[in-house]
A = this chain, B = another copy of it.
Amino acid sequence: MISSEYTRELCARDAQTKILMLVIDGLGGLPHPESGRSELETANLPNLDRLAAAGSCGLISPLGGGFTPGSGPAHLALFGYDPWKSEIGRGALSALGLGVDFRPGDVASRLNFCTVDSAGNVTDRRAGRIPTEKGRALCDLLSAVDIPDVEVSVAAEMEYRAGVVFRGEGLSDGVGDSDPQGTGIPPRPLVAHGPESQRMVEVANEFLAQTREILADQSPANMVLMRGFGRYPELAQFDDVYGLRALGIAGYPMYRGVAGAVGMDTVEVNWDMDSECALYEERFADYDFVYMHVKKTDSAGEDGDFDRKVTLLEEVDSYVPRLLALKPDVVVVTGDHSTPSIMRSHSWHPVPTLVHSAFSLADGAQHFSERGCQLGSLGVMPSSALMSYVLAHAQRLDKFGA
């Protein structure tokens, strides 16, 4: 329905307005079987309710129909990109989250530390789930890997998970996984999906050979498995598409990574709201658009912890006055996707959304919730249509046609 090409053409670059987009991860929920009320309906949200009542509300659908998005496609849609066509591969998404230097042309792969026996067969694909600190120490050891004409960066993620980024000429991500998806068998040999990926296989095999030597005396993590090779996603940049100087504020590295991939500036920050708000207050004057990400609500939903999600939503609400104090012209409050506590997972359900500006119609929603926003004037729109709508409220979209 919405074409980002048109958005690009119509962007009024001389506007002075400022936009705040607060993304509450896993925002949408479903009713608790006992109370019949969702997390948002249970929480006491005076500030968000006030914004909803004064703004334009609706529901946004990340992928349409019943498709449940991962965080990558869900965020790309929020930022106005076609989430089906602009997919970020798992390896790339993971690398974006590592905080390592990852740039166009680079190829990343996820790493699992694992245990192999003397015959080379995998005995534990997760190396006994070593603690994160151990993973970090092993990644430090792997900084000794040295491959001619290739820069190699290894960084730890959580527990046994890590990632590697390769930079050099002629690298390609058309490479199968070495993870054999089972134990008692050796890792799979890396396979190039085509001749253009042959060089990448050679480089990765050299990485694996040196890794095996470096980790030989470690226990239980004496080897790595590689999976999800992916190039740095080459996406149109926020400034080019929208004419927005944009800042991404996210404590959780992966979301900084996605923000960076669409051209936002990012700054490392703790993932509590207090730290994120402090960064917002410090940098607000320098930007046209601030994306702020709240992670913990999603985690509570994934844990099936209805009450914790309610408490966290109330915490977010309590920070709203601080966010409004800087007087952004447009305030958007939404989520990347729904994570109903009763499902303990991301879901397809469309996400409550409010847009507040001097030009928003107070359209009947009295409560910032699934059923509250349904009463608003936005209807159910694709998440990827939200950005152009927000730009309009910021008076940053020109008229189309005479």
Report A's interface with B, CB cutoff 8 A. 1-3, 6, 10, 30-31, 36, 38, 59, 63-74, 83-84, 87-88, 90, 93-94, 340, 342-343, 345-350, 359, 361-364, 370-371, 374-382, 385-393, 397-402
Contacts and interface: CB of A to CB of B under 8 A. Distances in A.
Contact of A65 (B74, B350, B389): B389
Nearest to A59: B377
Interface of A is mostly: loop
Nearest to A110: B402
Contacts of A402: 70-72, 88, 90, 93-94
B400 A67 contact: yes
A388 B61 CA distance: 13
Number of copies of chain A assembled together: 2
Contacts of A1: 1, 64-65, 382
B379 A379 contact: yes
B392 A2 contact: no
Contact of A64 (B88, B90, B363, B385): B385
A100 B161 CA distance: 60
A339 to B, nearest CB: 11
A359 to B, nearest CB: 6
B380 A379 contact: yes
B400 A68 contact: yes
A343 B371 contact: no
Given A399-B346, A401-B87, A65 B31 contact: no
B374 A350 contact: no
Contacts of A390: 66
Nearest to A89: B402
Contact of A70 (B90, B93, B379, B400): B400
Contacts of A88: 401-402
Contact of A66 (B30, B69, B348, B389): B389
Contacts of A389: 65-66, 348
Nearest to A230: B402
